[in-house]
Structure 1
Amino acid sequence: MTTSTTSESSATTPLLDVQALVVAVRRRRRLWSAMALFGLLIGAAVAVLLPPAPAAVTKVLVAHQEDQPNDTGTLIRTDVQLLGTTQIADQALRTLKSPEKPEDFMRDYRGTGLTNNVLQIDVTGDTDAEAVARAKALADAFVADHAKRIRDIANAQAQGLLDQRDRMQAELAAVNKKIAGRSPDSDPKESASIESLFAQRAELTSRISDFSERAEEARIGAPQLIAGTQIVDAPRAVLHSLPKAAVTNAVIGLVLGLVLGLALAAVGAVVADRPLLRRDIAANLGASVIAELPRRSGRLWQRRRTRVARERLTTTLARTVRGSVEPLSLLELGCARSTSVIALALARALAADGPVVVVDGLPGTQLAGRRPKPGDPTVVGGERAAALSPQEQRIGVGSVAPGTAWTDLQYLGTQTVVVVRAGHGSAAWLHTVARQLADQRIPVIGVVLIDPDPRDRTDGTLWDGLHTALRGRSERPARPNGTGRRRSELQPMRAARVPDDDQEVR
């Protein structure tokens, strides 16, 4: 019972075995299938038990003075934020004559900028009519507030231009007064000064005219923007389809439940660290996998294949028992029933050679308490194993589950076949089993894997374990028969080396 501990295998071992993870997640399909079904039912139940509140929608076309073709949506986002202010909410509530607080009303509606100039308002209410009325009041309040802001901006700009014009007119009046106080028959120096005043008067007159035109344009542009801001889609109730909502929520719940179930299965598989592949089980136990059997009989067309596999395993074990004077034991881990069936089949096959006794070392009375059938071998308890005659062939059946009395296993057999269910024991426990059997000098000549993954294509053979593997028994020298002595009395056997940690196991 040895394992390969070369540095090459340790260096190539991945941090996360994706193949083993996929197998573990697939074997936990009941978990993520149940989670997916639970999410589907919860989603459908939410749609039925918690229907959406009555809602209404309207669209407003918003004109901006600063509109540009390359605008990135800053202006419409500003309008959305302005819609969510207490000022507009208060104006809408006044229109509705509602005593509700603006802060509470703001939670029942939202604005969405569809384009740079189109604002959509979604409102909820107790009824469809109330939702439509709220949407219309909000839209009217927003349009009025937007028009007021445009008008205020235009008036402020026009007033600023008119103030500039009035200041220029005052300067023009002062220049005209200076010109009127000069005599036309003055000397040439005075003539130059008069010409400068005339030029200044002409410039001031031009600027006064410009300011007047700009003030007029500011007032003229405001009505165009005000007229361009209007409701383009009248408020209407939003129709909700219960079947559509149920299907949508069910699909969302199904996807979320499936993702959550897969995540839980993956995390649980990594944390549990229970080997499923024959490669990992063989490496942790230090023995090759000699047979694989399903946990249940399976479908009708699979029963013949299962029966052939059981017969082949029985023939192999019977050949092993006949070729050795050492008693054989079957030690189970998570599959007591399957191990009992294998032991009884092996005992029936050996009954033609002489009396066979099955020593029941399993917890409870699953094997010893069964109702015997015609042709079944004798089954005795583990406490009577030491009193059996050496001439009787015996087959021990025991367990290596947690709580096993390891020192009692040598009375079941001095060589063993471990029958383990895939995914039942953790890697640490399989390593413990291998070490305890090595300490008891009980070689593991093979592993029978119960309930393997049908898509497992890994190699479960340890090619460096010929001294204990069944395939290497033909190379051993013949042993004299009839001695009835244990192997330890004839030839000392070096205890098989067991890896010390998980990295060495890999």
Structure 2
Amino acid sequence: MTTSTSSESSAAAPLLDLQALVVAVRRRRRVWWTMALLGLLVGTAVAVLLPPPPTAVAKVLVAHQEDQPNDPGTLIRTDVGLLQTTRIAAKALESLGSAEKPEDFMRDYGAVGLTNNLLQITVTGDSEAQAVARAKALGDAFVADHVARIKDASDAEAKALLDQRDRMQGELAQVNKAIGDGSAQSGPKASADLESLFASRAELTSRITDFSQRAAEARIGTPRLVAGTQVVDAPRAVRHSLPKTAATNAVIGLVLGLVLGLAVAAVGTVVADRPVLRREIAANLGASVIAELPGRPAGLWRRRRIRAARQRLTTSLARTVRGSAEPVSLLELGCARGTSVIALDLARALAADGPVVVVDGLPGPQLARRRPKPGDPTVVTGERVSSGSHQERLLGVGSVAPGTAWTDLRYLGARTVLVVRAGHGSAAWLHTVARQLADQRIPVIGVVLIDPDPRDRTDGTLWDGLHTALRGQTEPRARQNAAGPRRTERLPMWAGRVPDSDQEAR
């Protein structure tokens, strides 16, 4: 029944807890705010250190013979493509008297179609004067090329129409000759032939007149198109505002940096798998969260709040230690400094009942190199524990960080309170801590959570863990051995159920 319950619990766990992800990303706000600030600084630096080159713009009105009201912009896009050709670039460089290669010059300018007939040319140069001159040369070269193409097209069309007219005039001359020859003949057949020749002459005359009119119209429309293609906005230098450019780049950099920082924080959170919520930490350690202390004091009101929370925690732990017949230890994970402060406060509270000795098992100098104050308890290292008096109360302080000597934890205390910083240890390491403590037969009274998320509303209590929770310590021992049906409880996430014989041994 226990195995099935554990499998059902693990199967019901979501693949990605969005609440935990949001909380973890919010706790890593230093990462994404740093990235946002870096993006803002980079954007501002780019605007200051890499200013845009001198630029000039010109606008050209382009008239097309095939203009239609419903044109989707195909003709103006064709003009943009024609402007980006070596022929136009070479003509502009020739008018400027420059020896620069057209391919290199094409990298310094561009064009965009504002409407179906309005083309804007943008050119850069080493100076504003050079940029303006280049823009003028490009505009004139494009207008000349466009006009030449219009004239060539109209001339070709007119020539084709006149050629057709000349051919038909030749046919008309032959028909007139046949009419002159047939007028001398008589008879019904000759009359029918003459009638057919007259009809052909009339048709050819009409077509010749039509081709002549079309050729004239083809040439008449050309001046209108030529006059309609011109530079309507003379080239002018574009004025760049450094404050405006810097502000724009800074905002863009800020947004990009913020997005990148959020992405990095989210990916890092998923990959690291560091529990932050109370329910996750309690489930991974197999022990309930009995207290918590806020972190990062910023204002005076927050310091008072932390001081009050520390006093409540000291009172609660002192009550627990007084009611325990076995030594109790405080084991930290990611908060050695805070644990040492909690241990000293707890030792001062217990000093009213008798002498207290704090056993320093921390790997750092938090307790060993501190400056003792009047009324502080005695602090000894783990090697001097055996030399102490049996009348002294021992309070061990150690660590369960990676590299811990697990077999030495029993010398710090037969029972322990874990002091864990939220989001410090991975889920795998929390499992390791719970498993190692279970192997060493060290019951976990509870977990003190340091720097929890202020918006966390999850429950950090394991309601089926009476064998380790504080509320289970007040139950009579006889109730655990009472006859009757055995109570089956859900296993913690990290290990199997401790046998009843081991509980009695504890």
Fold agreement, TM-score > 0.5: yes
Partner of 2:425: 425
What does 1:199-348 correspond to in 2, within 5 Å?
Answer: 199-348=199-348
C-alpha distance 365-224 of structure 1, shift in aligned 2 (>3 A): closer
Unaligned runs of 5+ in 1: 480-493, 502-506
Distance in structure 2 (CA, Å) of the matches to 1:500 and 1:306: 32
Q: Is the 8 A contact 2:285 2:494 kept in 1?
A: no
Question: Is 1:499 aligned with 2:503?
Answer: no
Partner of 1:35: 35
Distance in structure 1 (CA, Å) of the matches to 2:3 and 2:338: 27
Q: Give percent identity, aligned residues only.
A: 78
Distance in structure 1 (CA, Å) of the matches to 2:491 and 2:9: 17
Aligned residue identity for 1:158: A
Q: CA deviation at 1:191?
A: 1.0
Distance in structure 2 (CA, Å) of the matches to 1:440 and 1:91: 89
Unaligned runs of 5+ in 2: 480-487, 496-506
Distance in structure 1 (CA, Å) of the matches to 2:278 and 2:193: 113
Q: Is the 8 A contact 2:6 2:491 kept in 1?
A: no
Distance in structure 2 (CA, Å) of the matches to 1:329 and 1:273: 28
Q: CA deviation at 1:365?
A: 4.0
Q: Is the 8 A contact 2:53 2:125 kept in 1?
A: yes
Q: Is the 8 A contact 1:386 1:411 kept in 2?
A: no
Distance in structure 1 (CA, Å) of the matches to 2:289 and 2:62: 77
Partner of 1:504: none
Aligned residue identity for 1:53: P
Q: CA deviation at 1:203?
A: 0.9
Aligned residue identity for 1:195: E
Q: CA deviation at 1:311?
A: 2.0
Q: CA deviation at 1:112?
A: 0.6
Which piece of structure 1 moves more, 114-123 or 267-276?
267-276
Which piece of structure 1 moves more, 115-124 or 254-263?
254-263
Partner-residue secondary structure (3-state), 1:14: coil
Q: Is the 8 A contact 1:75 1:116 kept in 2?
A: yes
Distance in structure 2 (CA, Å) of the matches to 1:242 and 1:476: 78
Distance in structure 2 (CA, Å) of the matches to 1:23 and 1:36: 19
C-alpha distance 117-293 of structure 1, shift in aligned 2 (>3 A): same
Question: Is 1:112 aligned with 2:112?
Answer: yes
Partner of 1:53: 53
C-alpha distance 203-263 of structure 1, shift in aligned 2 (>3 A): same
Distance in structure 1 (CA, Å) of the matches to 2:489 and 2:62: 88
Partner of 1:482: none
C-alpha distance 4-35 of structure 1, shift in aligned 2 (>3 A): farther
C-alpha distance 173-298 of structure 1, shift in aligned 2 (>3 A): closer
Partner of 1:485: none
Which piece of structure 1 moves more, 49-58 or 288-297?
288-297
Partner-residue secondary structure (3-state), 1:475: coil
Partner of 2:485: none
Which piece of structure 1 moves more, 257-266 or 8-17?
8-17
What are the superposed Cα offsets for residues 145-200 of structure 1, whole Å, 9 maximum, x if unpaired?
A: 11111111111111111111111111111111111112445111221111111111
Q: CA deviation at 1:94?
A: 1.3
Aligned residue identity for 2:216: E
C-alpha distance 365-65 of structure 1, shift in aligned 2 (>3 A): closer
Partner of 1:126: 126
Partner-residue secondary structure (3-state), 2:56: strand
Q: Is the 8 A contact 1:3 1:283 kept in 2?
A: no
Q: CA deviation at 1:72?
A: 0.5
Q: CA deviation at 1:355?
A: 2.5
Q: CA deviation at 1:350?
A: 2.0
What does 1:346-495 correspond to in 2, within 5 Å?
Answer: 346-477=346-477
C-alpha distance 296-141 of structure 1, shift in aligned 2 (>3 A): closer
Q: Is the 8 A contact 1:3 1:286 kept in 2?
A: no
Partner of 2:139: 139
Q: Is the 8 A contact 1:113 1:119 kept in 2?
A: yes
Q: CA deviation at 1:129?
A: 1.5
Greater relative CO (CA pairs within 8 A, separation 6+): 1
C-alpha distance 365-81 of structure 1, shift in aligned 2 (>3 A): closer
Partner-residue secondary structure (3-state), 2:396: strand
Distance in structure 2 (CA, Å) of the matches to 1:242 and 1:369: 55
Distance in structure 2 (CA, Å) of the matches to 1:452 and 1:428: 20
Q: CA deviation at 1:269?
A: 1.5
Distance in structure 1 (CA, Å) of the matches to 2:471 and 2:3: 16
Partner of 1:489: none
Distance in structure 1 (CA, Å) of the matches to 2:456 and 2:431: 21
Partner of 1:72: 72
Partner of 1:181: 181
Q: Is the 8 A contact 2:464 2:489 kept in 1?
A: no
Question: Is 1:93 aligned with 2:93?
Answer: yes
Aligned residues: 486
RMSD over aligned Cα atoms: 2.3
